[in-house]
Amino acid sequence: MHRETHGGSMSGVPFCRDNHYTPCVYLRGFAGPGKRIFAYRTLVPRTEVPLWKPSSTRGVGYLSHLYTRIAAGQETDEIETWLKRDFEDPAAEPLRKAISGERLTTKDWTCLISFLAAQIVRTPAFFVKNVPRWQADAQPLLNSVVRESVQRLEAAKKSGHPLQPPQGVYSEYLPVRVAAQIEPGKEGATLKAAVVVGRGYWLFAMRRLLAGSAAKALHENQWSILAPYEGLSWFTSDAPVILLNYHADGKYDFNGGWGSHGSEILLPLGPGHLLYTHIGYRPPQRGMVLPRNQTESIRRFIAEHAYRMIFAASPENSVSGWRPRTVNDELFHQEQGQWRTWHVDQTGAEKGLMDTSRSL
C-alpha cells in the first residue's frame, strides 16, 4: 500500500491520501524481473505513447483521495484503512500461497473470496458503471427517506419525546439532507429531501454490499484455481473481477450476478493462476490446465473488461488486438482533470447539500 502523509493525525499514523483501487499486494503477483509490471493504457493522448510502460506496483492503480470522506468536519481515510485491514492484509498470505501452488486452508479461501468481493466494488470502473443506476434509484430512495421522516416526526410528537437521529446501517456515508419548508399562515410543513449521487453514495453502496447477502453468497460457491494453456499467461486490469454471462460462442456479457445461477466469476491472481467459480456448478479441479481456446477466450475477456489500464508481467502482444487504444487528447485530459478535482468537487457538493443556509 502506497501511503503518503497528508495533514496531521492525532494517532500519529500517516494519513493515506493515495488510494490504490488495484492494491499493491495484488499487483505483486504479476511483477516480473526487478519487481516491475507493465501497464497498457486504454486511453492515451497521443499515438507516440508506448503501448506498454514498465512501472513499480506502487506507481499505478491509485488516485488521490479516491475514498477520503469528511466526518465531523475533518478528512478521514477510514475507508482506505478498512479496505486494507479487512480485505488486503488478510489476503496477502493466501495470495502468495495460491500463486505458489501451496495448499490453501478454509480460512485462506475465505480471505481470497472476500478480497475478490472488495475488488468488484472499490474500482473507478464500478463507480462509473453504476452512477446511472444510482441516479435512477435516487428518487425512490428520497421518497422513502421522506416517508420515514414523517413517521418519526409523528411518533415523536405523539410520545412527547425529542426526535432522535436515524440509525440506519451505514447511513452516515449517505449524503442525504431532509429539510422542512414552512409556508406562512399554514400549519405543518412540507418535507423535502435531496441526495448527492457521488463519492458518499458509492462508499455507502460499498459498505452495504460487502456486509450484505451478495458478498455472503460468494462464499457459498465452489471455487477453483485454473492454469492457462502452456506458453500463455494470465494478465489483469484495473477492473480485475469479471462477472461473466456466457450465452453461446461469441455471445457473452459482463453483467453476471454475485449469486446468479450460471454466472462465472474470474479473478486472475498471477500469470499462472486464475480464481474461478461457475455459480451452481462444480468447478474444475484446482490446477487444471485449460485448453488453448478457453485460455484465449479468458485472456480476451480480461482485456475487454479493463477500464483504463491492463497490467502484465511482460508486454502482451495480443492485447492491442482485443482492446485497441483510444487516442484522444481532449478526452484524456478531460478525464484526468476530473480525477484531479475529484476530492474538491465531491467534498464541495456534499458540503453544499448540508449547508442549512441554502434551501432545497
pLDDT at 256: 97
Contact criterion met (CB below 8 Å) for 286 and 274:
no
Is the pLDDT confidence value at 65 over 50? Answer: yes
Q: Where are the domains of the chain?
A: 18-129+201-345, 130-200
Beta-carbon contacts of residue 293 (< 8 Å; ≥ 6 apart): none
The helix/strand/coil state of 237 is strand
Rounded to the nearest integer, the mean pLDDT of the chain is 90
Is the pLDDT confidence value at 7 over 50? Answer: no
Q: pLDDT grade, residue 26 (50/70/90)?
A: very high
**Alpha-carbon span 269 to 98, nearest angstrom:** 8
Q: Report, as an integer, the average pLDDT of 20-42.
A: 95
Instruction: Give me Rg for the CA atoms of the chain.
Output: 23
- β-bridge pairing 264-270 and 36-41: unpaired
199-236 pLDDT, tens digit each: 999 999 999 999 999 899 999 999 999 999 999 999 99
287-314 pLDDT, tens digit each: 999 999 999 999 999 999 999 999 999 9
C-alpha cell at 67: 475514498
Beta-carbon contacts of residue 274 (< 8 Å; ≥ 6 apart): 225, 226, 227, 228, 234, 266, 267, 268, 298
CA distance to 15, 242, 345, per residue, from 68 (Å) = 10, 26, 12
pLDDT at 200: 95
162-188 pLDDT, tens digit each: 656 555 557 788 888 887 776 666 666
Q: Report, as an integer, the average pLDDT of 235-261.
A: 96
> By mean pLDDT, which of 3-7, 170-174, 344-348 is the weakest?
3-7
